[in-house]
Amino acid sequence: MDIFNSLMQGFATVLTPFNIWMAVIGCFFGTIVGILPGLGPSATIAMLIPLTFGMNATPAMIMMCAIYYGAMYGGSTTSILLNVPGESASVATTIDGYQMARQGRGGAALGISAIGSFVAGILGTIGLMLICVPLAKFALKFGPAEFFSLIVMGLLTIVYVGGKSISKSLMSGVIGMALGTIGIDVIQGAPRFVYDLPELMDGVSFITVVMGIFGIGEVLVSAEERMKITPIHVKFKDLWPTVAEVWQSKWAILRGTAIGFFMGALPGAGATISSFVAYAVEKGVAKNPERFGKGAIEGVAAPESANNACTSGAMVHLLALGIPGSGATAVMLGALMLYGLKPGPMMFHTNPDFVWALIASMFVGNVILIVMNLPMIPFFAMGLRIPYRYLYPGILLICIIGAYSLSSSIYDVWVMLIFGVIGYFMKKFDIPGAPMGIALILGPMLEYNLYRALALSRGDLTVFFTRPISATLLAIAAIMTILFSSKTIRVKRKMLEEVEE
């Protein structure tokens, strides 16, 4: 009851014309930033911070949160329609989303992603309200050993997100891991594969690689194969998902939300991993997993719900621990300090009005976003009717601007173009790109957490098995492996038998 009263108090603060206006502005900018690949939510928030100087902390924070959500909503648009992930968290969405768009169901994919995001946003905020503090306490139990085991589990999703051939998926994963070793390593400060190029010191940026492999690679392949074919004919009735499709995705959305929320609460695990894990889980539990990768609507619903729920999870971390759980919340933390607020466990006691207004604003923001986004979907989906000879130069342009905007340097554009060519050959040889993306993100995290865990245990390898959380995670990973391999073996045997017959 107490929570309910505080929340109502929060709504009273938020539902003033000025605060609602701030939320609308934030949602609008966030959506645009999310749609344009490259520039992410953290950079946008930072750039808009000076606008908020002189305001109270509450409207300023409402706007920043709205940008964060908006970016997560908008990120799916280009991934689905153009196979260009707007930000890292929507890479998993491209796998089935783009296939849906190719089949003329782009509107349905965008719709389910908006609905999934909305449900995840609302449920995530309720979760934030109810179990913020205990969840944060649990998250603290994750030391380097636990993270290592979690990442091992995360890496196993490679076999789910790849295509038919497991060996090609693994190949792609290994390339991603190798790319992840480039740069100054976090542990010793030693430059690895840098060749005295200052740009390589920070490693290969995930988003440029992904934009190249997926976006540019796709354009190259399509330019070769499909230039002569007429554009996809989008029928008006396909501009929205049907009720049946939404109903079909209900469990995917709920599972995605749960995964995203809990992983968001773990610092560093973040939106990207949770979206891949959510995808893998859907494929794992599906009755006919072969639909995945060919335009399964659950394959869009799950990762999109997960990456949105993740924002609530990241807020758990920010509000209950005062430590940022993601790039965007790190910026918010810095901004809060500029307003003289001290983010941390005391916020609930020292500034309850602020915290509850913020939570209330998340509900409001999600409603604004769905109201703003649903009517736009048909327009976006219609975009695919544009003939290829106009559409492809457009995609190239968007990708180049996006890559340039990352750090306003032409270097990122070159990296993206090079990976575009690599992406072209990967497509030609049927090597999936998603495993490479996962491994590029998780590889360095795996290495560093292994190092940290061993440094803290003085080289004792048993820590991974003696710590309960770590042991549980590894056990789950082992079970996943056994289940997956037995399933694969069964399928292969069956195929062989059929051939023999």
Partner 1 sequence: MGRKVFICSLAVMFCVIAVMVAVEAKAAYPDKTIEFVVHSPAGGGSDLFSRAIGSILEKEGIVKQKIQVVNRDGGSGTTSLNYMFDKAGDAHVVMQFTTGPLSALLRGSSKLKMEDITFLTLMCMDPNLAFTRVESPYNDMKSVIEYAKKNPDKVSVAIGTVAGSEHISAHRVAKASGTQLNMVGFGGGGAASVAILGGHVDLGFGNVNEQMGQIEAKTIKPLGVMSPQRIPAMPNVLTMKEQGINAVYVQPRGFWAPKNFPDYALKFWEDAFFKLSKTKAYQDLLKTSYAVDSFMKHEETKTFVNDYIKVLKVDVDELGVYKKK
Interface contacts to partner 1, rule CB under 8 A: 42-43, 45-47, 49-50, 53-54, 139-144, 184, 186-190, 196, 198-199, 201-202, 267-268, 321-325, 327, 330-331, 334-335, 337-340, 342-347, 407-409, 448, 452, 455-456, 458
Nearer to partner 1, 143 or 284 (CB): 143
Identify the CA nearest to 384 among candidates 103, 93, 37: 103
Least distance between partner 1 and beta carbon 137 (Å):
9
Nearer to partner 1, 49 or 161 (CB): 49
Least distance between partner 1 and beta carbon 458 (Å):
8
The Cα-based distances of 149 to 259, 281, 382, 465, 490 in angstroms read 16, 17, 44, 10, 28
Least distance between partner 1 and beta carbon 454 (Å):
10
Nearer to partner 1, 106 or 144 (CB): 144
Structure token pair of residue 448: 């560093």
Nearer to partner 1, 45 or 384 (CB): 45
- Could you tell me where the DSSP H helices lie in 36-143? 41-52, 57-82, 91-102, 106-140
Least distance between partner 1 and beta carbon 206 (Å):
14
In whole angstroms, give the CA distance from residue 262 to residue 220: 38
Least distance between partner 1 and beta carbon 334 (Å):
5
- Residue 237, classified by CB atoms within 10 Å of its CB into exposed (0-12), middle (13-18) or buried (19+), is exposed
Tell me which long-range contacts 390-398 makes (C-beta under 8 A, separation of at least 24): 391/231, 392/219, 392/222, 392/223, 395/82, 395/84, 395/215, 395/219, 396/216, 396/219, 398/36, 398/37, 398/78, 398/82, 398/84
47-64: b (≥16 Cβ within 10 Å) or e? ebbeebeeeebbbbbbbb
Nearer to partner 1, 189 or 375 (CB): 189
In whole angstroms, give the CA distance from residue 396 to residue 73: 22
Instruction: Please tell me the total number of residues recorded for the chain in this structure.
Output: 501
Nearer to partner 1, 146 or 245 (CB): 146
The Cα-based distances of 185 to 193, 312, 435, 451, 457 in angstroms read 10, 30, 22, 11, 21
Structure token pair of residue 279: 């995808």
Dump the DSSP string for 163-211: -S-HHHHHHHHHHHHHHHT-EE-TTT--EES-TT-GGGGG---HHHHHI
Nearer to partner 1, 17 or 50 (CB): 50
The conformational region for residue 208 under phi > 0 = left, psi -120 to 50 = alpha, else beta, is alpha
Nearer to partner 1, 408 or 462 (CB): 408
Nearer to partner 1, 42 or 366 (CB): 42
Least distance between partner 1 and beta carbon 483 (Å):
31
Structure token pair of residue 106: 């782009």
Least distance between partner 1 and beta carbon 456 (Å):
6
Least distance between partner 1 and beta carbon 452 (Å):
5
Least distance between partner 1 and beta carbon 191 (Å):
9
